[in-house]
Structure 1
């Protein structure tokens, strides 16, 4: 017989076992999350993820293709980070599908350097530490890894430089054939890098938009094998750039910054940050989105101008049509007149309670040289983010006590002629 002293313990153990059994049954009965899909955000049309695609089946009113996003993912908790992996693939649990053989060259895990600037401490994210010296490697490693897994063997990219260099590099590493279309005005430093990786480079006369149009028309060339894997169009690219948000969160001791200032061309870093930080909120790791600030050159500022119109702001730089002369700005990396995700970028910035800054060429030049004197050798394209910090601080939109991150997307080595001109040096 059981002693009177043991009976309560036995009853408690039986109750605990029954409760555990009930909880397990409930967990098994809980509906699983729906599989991730492509989604066309403007109409809501969805497509299964197992097939490679870069646009919706239907076109817009002008007969042009419509870009896709992915349905929301749940995000990951800090214990799901693969701490032993020294690349952005440490966040692989946050990606839309498992990848058995990622094409990785150690991208991500770039330095976040806190330096004093104008009486404040700014956290500079130095993205030129990526393998091809720009942030584009974040998106490319994920995009090409997942496309190769879907059976793609030949990729087509259009780029003003950094994106093409990145796709050429990772295609070579992954055994894919790459064709890169670039404007004739693209700097030799960037086109030589593409050719060195074995890519076929086609220089297109005219504007950056003319290059994008030529690439869209070339999709399916070479007997249908050439797949348009544009960093501006493909949603897998944004799955790579969202790791910027995860990395900032981890860099800052698993907290979110107050502000993120982003040089913007097509908006892949803006949207990547929105996706990543929203996933972290969904996972319960942060309680509030950081404010996102989009920065563009005044001479080519379609997204920034649209954000300012949406917010009813006037920066005093409105000399129409000042923002539609992309060939005149030194920021070649953000000279995109018709960004395909403009509406999504405007929505992302406004939802975060951020805003936009349009930077003059003089402001960009001064910021480029100022950063160089601090030890940060950047190309003017990303130095505009530092110029925007000055304006945001001066206008009171951000404060020196807040935790502000400035994204520096690429190195000055890729813009040697421009830097030499600013310094008055003849090459």
Structure 2
């Protein structure tokens, strides 16, 4: 990977030389999100990356811009995506910007505000009354039927390639790798993308290690945490309970095995947070001027705890992934 940020470029394409798709001019101003202290007093080494400052209100814009750029490059006219909300809104927005038609499959129970956003961008919404996995199957069937471009944030590596800029921005801001990344884990796009970015930086000789990656799940829907605790390498599906963290409520994550590999390779762990912890973290963030959706409070809820293996004063970075304007407690 070549790391040569473009001077004066304030979008994700600042890192065009490090990306797998060319810059075709598609952008909504994504990337370059703030990295701030967790509190005015500065909680010991904890920094928050304000991903909800992204154009559609979540980090999914990073992957959407590269994936929709790929769709344009391949001459696609229509894209199909499946999502619990944020990836769908990002795909709808970037497809609209690129002049492509979009069909977004979402599970029943998806936040009404997210549905309004998807529809507002001109995409067609298909609500699947079933699990998140049923939604993905319905989208895949639609792709097979129509031949549309499958804009999958779960399977397509070009989406993860865009998300790796999360890591590149942290490195550029700090001039080093933080000790630990605390990341929400549903389908694993941020876990995989952040790991990809720091791996590329290490291979380029710019950092000497990849940060310890701590993946966080809601206690009521934690298949990866259960597999990690048992020492498994596969992630059996579970029967989930209701959780405020709808964005990571994935009962059978397709990239679960890869998340386990990343966590173990980096000396990290998979942990869970309770509904009470999510609510408390959400309230604390709001009291500090940071308005996130409940899923966006998950990583902070975990990062407030002492991180095993992280020495006092070492830098820990957690994202605030989704805007509170999308969903609320």
Correspondent of 1:402 among 298, 314, 318: 314
Match of 1:231 in 2: 153
Q: Structure 1: 5+ residue runs without aligned partners?
A: 1-74, 313-320, 419-427
8 Å CA contact 2:128, 2:135 repeated in 1? yes
Shift of 1:83: 1.8
CA distance in 2, matches of 1:89, 1:383: 28
CA distance in 1, matches of 2:25, 2:239: 39
The answer on 1:413 being equivalent to 2:322 is no
Q: Deviations over 1:280-304 (max 9, x none)?
A: 0111111111111100001111222
Correspondent of 1:195 among 119, 134, 142: 119
Q: TM-score, normalised by structure 1?
A: 0.73
Q: Deviations over 1:330-371 (max 9, x none)?
A: 110001111111111111111111111111111111111111
Correspondent of 2:291 among 350, 374, 377: 377
Correspondent of 2:303 among 369, 374, 389: 389
Match of 2:5 in 1: 81
CA distance in 2, matches of 1:298, 1:155: 34
Correspondent of 1:342 among 256, 266, 281: 256
Cα RMSD for the two superposed structures: 1.9
Correspondent of 1:220 among 144, 156, 177: 144
The answer on 1:144 being equivalent to 2:68 is yes
The answer on 1:103 being equivalent to 2:103 is no
CA distance in 1, matches of 2:77, 2:106: 21
CA distance in 2, matches of 1:333, 1:214: 19
CA distance in 1, matches of 2:143, 2:260: 28
CA distance in 2, matches of 1:97, 1:109: 19
Using the TM superposition, name which of 166-175 and 201-210 deviates more. Answer: 201-210
The answer on 1:163 being equivalent to 2:77 is no
Using the TM superposition, name which of 101-110 and 384-393 deviates more. Answer: 384-393
Match of 1:424 in 2: none
The answer on 1:181 being equivalent to 2:105 is yes
Alpha carbons of structure 1 residues 311 and 249: separation in structure 2 relative to 1, 3 Å: farther
Alpha carbons of structure 1 residues 303 and 124: separation in structure 2 relative to 1, 3 Å: same
8 Å CA contact 1:102, 1:141 repeated in 2? no
CA distance in 1, matches of 2:163, 2:275: 27
Select the structure of larger CA radius of gyration.
1
Alpha carbons of structure 1 residues 118 and 96: separation in structure 2 relative to 1, 3 Å: closer
Match of 2:188 in 1: 267
8 Å CA contact 2:46, 2:303 repeated in 1? no
CA distance in 2, matches of 1:118, 1:308: 32
Q: TM-score, normalised by structure 2?
A: 0.94
State the number of aligned residues: 326
The answer on 1:360 being equivalent to 2:283 is no
8 Å CA contact 2:21, 2:69 repeated in 1? no
8 Å CA contact 1:102, 1:142 repeated in 2? no
CA distance in 1, matches of 2:25, 2:267: 35
Secondary structure (helix, strand or coil) at the match of 2:301 reads: helix
* Higher RCO (CA 8 Å, separation ≥ 6 residues): 2
CA distance in 2, matches of 1:307, 1:382: 23
Q: Structure 2: 5+ residue runs without aligned partners?
A: none
8 Å CA contact 1:244, 1:272 repeated in 2? yes
Using the TM superposition, name which of 210-219 and 165-174 deviates more. Answer: 210-219
